[in-house]
Amino acid sequence: MYDVIIIGAGVTGCSIAREISKYKVSACVVEKEEDVCCGTSKANSAIMHAGFDAAEGSLMARLNVRGSEMIETLATNLEIPFIRNGSLVVCTNEEDLPKLQDLYQRGIANGVKDLVVLNREESVRLEPNLSDQVLGSLYAPTAGIICPFTMTFAFAENASQNGVEFKFNTIVENIHKRNGCYEVKTNHGILETKYVVNAAGVYADVVHNMVSRDKMKITARRGEYCLLDKSAGSHVSKTIFALPGKYGKGVLVAPTVHGNLIIGPTAADIEDKEGTNTTGAGLEELLQKAGNTVKNLPLRQTITSFAGLRAHEDHHEFIIKEAEDSSGFIDAAGMESPGLTSAPAVGEMVVDIIKNTFQMEKKTDYIAVRKGIIHADGLTVEERNELIKRKPEYGNIICRCEMISEGEILDAIHRPLGAKSLDGVKRRVRAGAGRCQAGFCTPKTMEILSRELHIPMEDIVKSGVEAKVVIGKNRAAK
């Protein structure tokens, strides 16, 4: 019997797991994929919103601003790449200019600090590559960019360090309440628990509706993105949003913490909760819209495109509460933008809800810090040589585009909740995330995974369990 089961190992579930791990409880995260960070958390804009966007007085507004405040300390303690680069919401249409003021006022009401409305000259001075149509902007210095993978892994690893269990490839099939407790039926048997936290992302409605008569509907809202090479990464220094207006909602252009340039997302509601495919129309729309706010985008430098699904709830609001007809079942649903920014605050809030009905004692031996993966690139020559002397693998570069060594890949595999797939390695250390998109390092990373995890090459997957990279030996090797 667990005290708490959290369904979903995305950034929301992992943040909740980390908060709960501060207490003396038995907790378990169940995840249908093979790894942490496989759904919405892996495919989003990778930004920390300042908090002016959400409606005044909404839960979204409150948790956004709180999350944005919390992230700084978390980034330090858990070693998450985070930069407060600031954002500009740019207006390209005369008629829409008053909306910048509206947005400013809303931001003030939401408690966003240091907002300022800029005219064209002031905007262009901050960001020389703004398009010629830009007439003014709202500047939010508190906005930031973050590595969403590391953020999720850091929360998960820290939770794991503090005793939270993780079960992967575990699909929740049904949930029953029996004798005041819950039986969570999975493909690997039944798990019993006092509390269930639903952090199932686009599947949150499915999980919620297993328990509650008060039905929920989550729509998968697909967002397509393009990622540009590091050579294009300094095209803008701040996150550039388009002011929603006469011509609909625009797309953002932003640098990433790793130095790439990201463009996106589109927004299309779809039926398929697994529909992470990009579309011809979507990619075309993306590139056209990006050109409205930023000029001379070096689109030839595109290295990949991808799509993520936002968990859109009909009322565009987070649903973070105990189900009215099912005590002990707590939703953390509707986690669309600003879900990533809000995640730290969502963790706090969910634990507070549990504390209302469950006596939990704080741990005295809670580990508040998580050591990140050493990125040798950031070390001085002396530090790096010292490291290579101790662990020669750090001198052996595997991914030449991102300059990732075997040492870093070994760390990714052997740390708590380590990588089991090519994508798992990529999201932890960026091997294969560069301009050749794993063309050169795929065979080498496969060999390392095979050797370290004692699994044959034929069973190495890109992700999941089915996505095997090769189908068997060739004729000569048979």
Partner 1 sequence: MENYDIVVIGGGPAGLAAAASAKENGCERILILERDNELGGILNQCIHNGFGLHTFKEELTGPEYADRFIKKVTELGIEYRLHTMVMDISEDKVVTAMNRERGLFTILAKAVILAMGCRERPRGALNIPGYRPAGIFSAGTAQRLINIEGYMPGKEVVILGSGDIGLIMARRMTLEGARVKVVAELLPFSGGLKRNIVQCLDDYNIPLKLRHTVVDIDGKERLKGVTLAQVGEDGKPIKETEEYIPCDTLLLSVGLIPENELSNACKIKMEPVTSGPLVNESLETSISGIFACGNVLHVHDLVDYVSEEAALAGKNAVKYISAMETDPSDTEKKQAEPIQLVATEGVRYTVPAVINLNKMEDSLIVRFRVGNVFQDSYISVYYDEERVMHRKKKIMAPGEMEEIKLQRDKLIQFKNLRTITVKIERE
The contact set with partner 1 (CB under 8 A) reads 226-227, 231, 274, 276-280, 282-283, 302-306, 381, 384-385, 388-389, 392-393, 395-397, 400-401, 403, 435-440, 442-443, 446-447, 457-458, 461-477
Least separation, in Å, of the C-beta of 72 and partner 1?
32
Least separation, in Å, of the C-beta of 62 and partner 1?
36
Residues 6 or more apart whose Cβ sits within 8 Å of residue 346: 12, 15, 16, 63, 67, 318, 320, 332, 335, 339
Q: What is the dihedral of CA 361, 363, 369, 372, to 10 degrees?
A: -90
Q: Which two tokens stand for residue 102?
A: 């509206």
Least separation, in Å, of the C-beta of 64 and partner 1?
30
- Nearer to partner 1 by Cβ, of 98 and 392: the residue is 392
- Nearer to partner 1 by Cβ, of 120 and 468: the residue is 468
Which residue(s) pair with 134 in the sheet?
A: none
Residues 331 and 208 sit within 8 Å (Cβ to Cβ):
yes
Whose CA is closest to 332, among 341, 340, 322? 322
Cα–Cα dist 256/345, whole Å: 23
- Nearer to partner 1 by Cβ, of 37 and 138: the residue is 37
- Nearer to partner 1 by Cβ, of 177 and 468: the residue is 468
Q: Are strands 239-242 and 268-270 parallel, antiparallel or unpaired?
A: unpaired
- Nearer to partner 1 by Cβ, of 314 and 447: the residue is 447
Q: Which two tokens stand for residue 319?
A: 């649903």
Cα–Cα dist 15/116, whole Å: 32
Cα–Cα dist 37/31, whole Å: 10
Least separation, in Å, of the C-beta of 239 and partner 1?
22
| Angstrom distances, CA of residue 470 to CA of 5, 442, 443, 458 | 36, 11, 10, 6
Whose CA is closest to 141, among 252, 265, 49, 262? 49
- Nearer to partner 1 by Cβ, of 267 and 469: the residue is 469
Answer whether the bond into residue 338 is a cis peptide, omega within 30°. yes
Q: Helix (H, G, I), strand (E, B), or coil: what is residue 44?
A: coil
- Nearer to partner 1 by Cβ, of 358 and 440: the residue is 440
Q: Which of 49, 208, 235, 312 is catalytic?
A: 49
In sign, the C-alpha dihedral spanning 353, 356, 357, 361 is positive
Least separation, in Å, of the C-beta of 279 and partner 1?
5
- Nearer to partner 1 by Cβ, of 375 and 462: the residue is 462
Least separation, in Å, of the C-beta of 219 and partner 1?
19
Catalytic site includes residue 258 = no
Cα–Cα dist 334/97, whole Å: 31
Least separation, in Å, of the C-beta of 470 and partner 1?
4
Strand locations in 368-426 (E): 397-399, 404-405
Q: Let me know the angle formed at the C-alpha of 209 by 207 and 215, rounded to the nearest 5 degrees.
A: 135
Least separation, in Å, of the C-beta of 189 and partner 1?
24
Cα–Cα dist 465/169, whole Å: 8
Please identify every residue annotated as catalytic: 49
